[in-house]
Amino acid sequence: MSAAIDKGQTEELNLVTAINQTLRQELARDPQVRVMGYDIGPIGGVFRATDGLYDDFGDQQVIDTPLTENGLIGAAVGMAMRGERPVVEMQFLGFMYNAWGQFIYSLANLHQKTGGLVNVPVTIRTTFGGGIKPLPFHSESTEAYLMHTPGIRVVCPSTPYEAKGLLAAAIRCDDPVIFMEHTKLYRAFREQVPTADYTLPLDKCRLVKPGKELTLIAWGNMVHVSQQAVDELDYDVEIIDLRAIAPIDVEPLLDSVKKTGRCLIVHEARRTAGPGAELSALISEYAMEWLKAPIKRVTAFDVFFPDNQVEDVYLPGPDRVKAGIEAVMNYQF
Amino acid sequence: MGEKKWSEVRPSEDYRRILRPDGTLQDKAPKVSRKELLRWYQVFVETRTFEEIAVRLQRRGVLSVAAVSRGEEAVGLGAAAALKAGDWCFPSYRQNSTLLYWNAPIDRAMAGLMGNSPEHIREQLPMTADQLPKVTFMPYAVFLGANIPLAVGSAMADKLAGRDSISLAFIGEGSTSEGDFHDGLSFAGVFDSPLVVIIQNNQWCISMPASKQTAAETFAQKAVAHGIPHERIDGNDVFAVYDTVKKAADRARKGHGATVIEAVTYRMLDHNTADSSAVYRTEDEAEYWQTLDPFDRFEKYLLAEKIIDSSTRETLAADAEIWLREAIDRGRAVPPTEPSAMFESHLHGEPGWSERHQRAELAAELAGQNPFVDYTGEDLQ
């Protein structure tokens, strides 16, 4: 787990303005950074993440493209293998299913297929997660599809500070990185973020809060939902922000569970074969003898993301997380 | 069923042709030196020689599968000759003539066909930078449509960087039904990408005839929807291929954007050594296409022009047999890739926890140990 760096001069940013500032700084730092996608130019992105970039960097560096996710990823990989450093905006994770071919054949596989000769330094920024009551396929948490794929990194920031450092690291990384931005966190809160550019490691989880009785693993908005649940209970819970969804930073998770003897996994993704299944399997395989209770998963259900009227019930909230904590803490063998 | 659609009948010969099947000129021959024409002929011979050896090796169990391009060689060859050093090429598995024209290393190719990892091949068969082909060839994704968006991105990068190199992609007529084809061309049209796409229409997509791929009159016209100029040519006429690709490449180099070329040709043999085309197509079809053979007509032309004589073919084939065999033997002599190589070249940086454990598990398994008895896995390394 990484420590926070010296923050120097800071300013108050929310998650989406932190993303915007990072893109701006990376575009200025490296002329081969090409921000590309649809609705990213004059409109500045549907969430305004690319606001103002088109005016300041022009259409050679901020490239509005046709509406084809598969073409978008393929073209970005083609550019990357010729020395460019594309940063793709995939408007919603739920739109990426259309791009599965280029995602697998090109983005994930090209480096391996060329025996490491060709690098694919593409960052795919995408939004995920529920809570803002949009249209169908705008709230997907299908990171399990991503993490099953070798050859890519998947990261997920849970705060503006994390977003800035992780995005800069993703853009500078020579691997393809899927960067998952939670829509509900875009404007949820502000925090002090260093004005200067900085990077955070792409392969490390983050200790949110130390504790001795239970290890709670979450990412994205579920870090905050879990934090609220923990605050409302009187247990000494260790909260870990997974941050690196793939590859997983396994060792600190095992160390934490070996210390607390209990584990709760909280995610917005569906349960069956979801990320929690892999985390739970890893912990049972490698830390079974330290466990004082079965590992519990607090997740969404195995259904399509439901209509807006029932969205709040579908998503894990503080109450469901509290129920999960109680279940694990009070378990008797 | 009513009347047959155009696409259910023999492909129209209403296309650009320079060299007739009888070896005479129908139109002005492109400006190509006699020396270069002899080189083309040599590559034709080398391609057929190489593919005959590959099929023999497959029958003896050295290769698990082999795909050949007999009857289609003029497409890859004419296109290859239209490229320049610095260009990027995205072939499929039926452009051996393109690879041979640009002196792609056959020893490495053979080691690859035998299933070795690229890292291992590079280590075992080292080459200096100036020994590598002057055109960069990308490996294909077997899913052939995937070439197109990649080639478009490559072309976009050339344009952004102000280079005058171009990208050339091959796709079969079947793969033009894939979304990838249209996804890529949407970009290529909008961004005026310096790109040439060759639809190598060999009439058969394994067992699926061209008529099952589209109800459109031609494959070339699929470019219309993308605002990209298109040509339909006799793919068995190396002059038509060369001249058309050259003009498209020149256009691209000058910043005028992409071109789609449908090269009408025929897959004379099976899809690959795992296929049996007698099940789904007739002999009279093969007889018709035999009269259009790309090699025969080019040979007739060269004989008439006295660029070759009646002994040239035999001499070149004998030379090709020798050097190809040597190269193939070097490829075959590469020791098998170590199993741990499967973990290479996935991500940069230090391997993560899971990769370390899985590497250690594999090593233990190969050493005859039980890879699962140690829960940490660390001391297995």
* A47 located within any domain: yes
CA distance B51 to A1: 55
SS3 content of chain B, % helix, strand, coil (to 5): 50, 10, 40
Record the tokens describing residue B23, joined without a space: 């070896």
Q: Tally Cβ neighbours within 10 Å of residue A58.
A: 12
pLDDT digits (tens, 9 = 90+) for B31-60: 999 999 999 999 999 999 999 999 999 999
CA distance A181 to A162: 11
- Domain at A168, CATH number: 3.40.50.970
- Domain at A262, CATH number: 3.40.50.920
Among A167, A194, A221, residue at a domain's last position? A194
Q: Which residue of A has its CA nearest to B116?
A: A115
Are A211 and A120 part of one and the same domain?
A: no
Give the best residue of A85, A105, A283 to mutate against chain B (max B CB count within 10 A): A105
Q: Which residues of A touch B139 (CB under 8 A)?
A: 113-114
Are A190 and A237 part of one and the same domain?
A: no
- CB contact under 8 Å between A106 and B146, yes or no, is yes
Write down the domain spans for chain B.
Answer: 7-332, 341-380
User: B260 - beta bridge partners?
Assistant: B197, B230
Q: What are phi and psi of B234, to 5 degrees?
A: -75, 105
DSSP 8-state secondary structure symbol assigned to residue B29: P
Among A145, A160, A194, residue at a domain's last position? A194
Low-confidence ranges of chain B (pLDDT < 70): 1-10, 374-381
Give the best residue of A67, A82, A289 to mutate against chain B (max B CB count within 10 A): A82
Among A194, A228, A250, residue at a domain's last position? A194
- Closest Cβ–Cβ partner in B119, B155, B167 for A115: B119
B355, B371 Cβ separation under 8 angstroms:
no
Q: The domain containing residue A158 runs over which residues?
A: 10-194
Instruction: Provide the CA A1 distance to its chain's centre, in angstroms.
Output: 16
Q: Which residues of A touch B344 (CB under 8 A)?
A: 112, 115-116
- CB contact under 8 Å between B345 and A112, yes or no, is yes
Are A102 and A230 part of one and the same domain?
A: no
pTM of the model: 0.95
CA distance B379 to A291: 23
User: A83 - beta bridge partners?
Assistant: none
* A113 located within any domain: yes
- Closest Cβ–Cβ partner in B150, B347, B355 for A106: B150
- CB contact under 8 Å between B153 and A247, yes or no, is no
Q: How close B317 gets to chain A, by Cα (Å)?
A: 32
* A5 located within any domain: no
Residues 6+ apart with CB under 8 A from B206: B174, B271, B275
Q: How close B53 gets to chain A, by Cα (Å)?
A: 26
- Closest Cβ–Cβ partner in B160, B190, B349 for A84: B160
**Mode of pairing for the β-strands spanning A214-218 and A237-241:** parallel
Q: Which residue of B has its CA nearest to A105?
A: B141
How many cross-chain Cβ pairs, A to B, lie less than 8 Å apart?
Answer: 149
For the stretch A330-333, contacts whose Cβ atoms lie closer than 8 Å and that sit 24 or more positions apart, written own/partner, are: A331/A292, A331/A293, A331/A294, A333/A292, A333/A293
Residues 6+ apart with CB under 8 A from A35: A23, A27, A50, A53, A57, A61, A62, A63, A86, A87, A89
CA distance B242 to B145: 23
pLDDT digits (tens, 9 = 90+) for A234-284: 999 999 999 999 999 999 999 999 999 999 999 999 999 999 999 999 999
CATH 3.40.50.970 matches B7-332: yes
Q: Closest by alpha carbon to B147, among B86, B199, B72?
A: B199
Give the best residue of A38, A70, A119, A245 to mutate against chain B (max B CB count within 10 A): A70
The pLDDT, as a whole number, for residue A125 is: 98
* A56 located within any domain: yes
- CB contact under 8 Å between A75 and B152, yes or no, is yes
Are A210 and A184 part of one and the same domain?
A: no
The pLDDT, as a whole number, for residue B380 is: 46
Q: Which residues of B touch A248 (CB under 8 A)?
A: 352-354
- Closest Cβ–Cβ partner in A84, A102, A114 for B146: A102
Q: Closest by alpha carbon to B317, among B69, B106, B39, B47?
A: B47
In residues, how long is chain B? 381
DSSP 8-state secondary structure symbol assigned to residue B25: B
Q: What pLDDT tens digit does each residue of chain A (333 aa) get?
A: 544 555 589 999 999 999 999 999 999 999 999 999 999 999 999 999 999 999 999 999 999 999 999 999 999 999 999 999 999 999 999 999 999 999 999 999 999 999 999 999 999 999 999 998 899 999 999 999 999 999 999 999 999 999 999 999 999 999 999 999 999 999 999 999 999 999 999 999 999 999 999 999 999 999 999 999 999 999 999 999 999 999 999 999 999 999 999 999 999 999 999 999 999 999 999 999 999 999 999 999 999 999 999 999 999 999 999 999 999 999 998
Q: Closest by alpha carbon to A210, among A235, A237, A244, A249?
A: A237
Q: Which residues of A touch B162 (CB under 8 A)?
A: none
- Closest Cβ–Cβ partner in B117, B149, B160 for A70: B149
Total domains present in chain A: 2
Are A156 and A214 part of one and the same domain?
A: no
Q: Which residues of A touch B184 (CB under 8 A)?
A: 71, 74-75
- CB contact under 8 Å between B149 and A65, yes or no, is no
CA distance B158 to A84: 10
CA distance A192 to B317: 74
Q: Tally Cβ neighbours within 10 Å of residue A91.
A: 21
Are A90 and A130 part of one and the same domain?
A: yes
